[in-house]
Structure 1
Amino acid sequence: MAGRGPAPKDNAVRRNAVDLSHLEGDEDVPDRTKKLFKRDGYSVATQRWWDTWADSEQSEAFKATDWMRLQMLAPLVEAYFRRPGHNALAEIRQNESLLGATVTDRMRLRMNKTDTKKGDTTPDKLPENVADMDLYRQLGGA
């Protein structure tokens, strides 16, 4: 069966922290960048496509280059809505995939909405098969 890499083990436990720093909105993107350029020249379908992206959760992490990618896609989306074709759809799908359009794309990009405070990587509870080293030391361990 096709997929990305080998299947995970049944008892797999991720011990390394996932770095999500690339998702932090550390850059102030001008509001004009988040608006569809020459919006009135596009069909309602393309405007709805833009609004869907602009209101999505993943757009909160977009940098200026991501917004420019959407700006570049808008004419292609408009052309697709006027005359649907598999080549245009494939290009749109590929570009949207890089921006995290589907659940699978967001999983691959490790995009998730985290409620943890910045810098807090300590889990609330340890997995069952992991020893608590502090408790081990308190009980006289190394």
Structure 2
Amino acid sequence: MAGNGPPPKENAVRRNAVDLSHLEGDDVPDKVKKLFKRDGYSVATCRWWDTWVESEQSESFKATDWQRLQMLAPLVEAYFRRPGHNALAEIRQNESLLGATVTDRMRLCMNKGESNKQNNDGKPDSYPENVKDMELYRSLGGA
């Protein structure tokens, strides 16, 4: 069975900086964030769209991401009218690429939290709690 590899070690220290520049949102015009021909869609589809507009990950969306959601809206509407596993699979796949679930956001490194921040010197803010001798830790290749 395919997967994303083994889980990381509990006491692993990341020494390479994580590039989060892709999370910086562009100034996307408000008209791009509006559902095209909204009156033609059901309440459920409009609610789906509004959920995406108000989501935290949409702050980093570019115009192409909004275009992807616009293209997905008719498929979501069709699914709400007549549910089927094929439509749901396509919706799930597209939403996954936009960071719909916690796992998707972790895979896409969309976490803006404090855990990804490091000092200017590239050293981590804290060391693993099982390290007793900091000099020995550093001499063995630790931060």
1:34 and 1:10 mapped to 2: Cα distance?
Answer: 40
Q: How far is the alpha carbon of 1:8 from its aligned partner?
A: 2.5
Give the corresponding residue for 1:140: none
Q: CA RMSD in A?
A: 2.3
Counterpart CA distance in 1 for 2:12 and 2:114 is: 24
Farther off after superposition, 3-12 or 52-61: 3-12
C-alpha displacement of 1:15: 1.3
User: Normalized against structure 1, the TM-score is what?
Assistant: 0.81
Deviations 1:58-107 (A, max 9, x none): 00000000000000000000000000000000000000000000000001
Q: TM-score, normalised by structure 2?
A: 0.80
Distance 1:92 1:124 in 2: 40
Instruction: Report the CA distance between 1:114 and its aligned residue.
Output: 3.3
Within 5 A, what are the aligned runs for 1:1-142?
Answer: 3-25=3-25, 27-114=26-113, 121-122=118-119, 123-128=124-129, 129=131, 131=134
The secondary structure found in structure 1 opposite 2:9 is coil
Q: Distance in 1 between matches of 2:106 and 2:114?
A: 17
Unaligned runs of 5+ in 1: 137-142
The answer for unaligned runs of 5 or more in structure 2 is: 139-143
Deviation of 1:115 after TM superposition, in Å, equals 5.8
In the other structure, the counterpart of 1:139 is: none
**Distance in 1 of aligned mates of 2:107 and 2:125:** 25
CA distance in 2, matches of 1:7, 1:97: 20
Relative contact order (C-alpha < 8 Å, sep 6+): which is higher?
2
- What amino acid is the match of 2:126? K
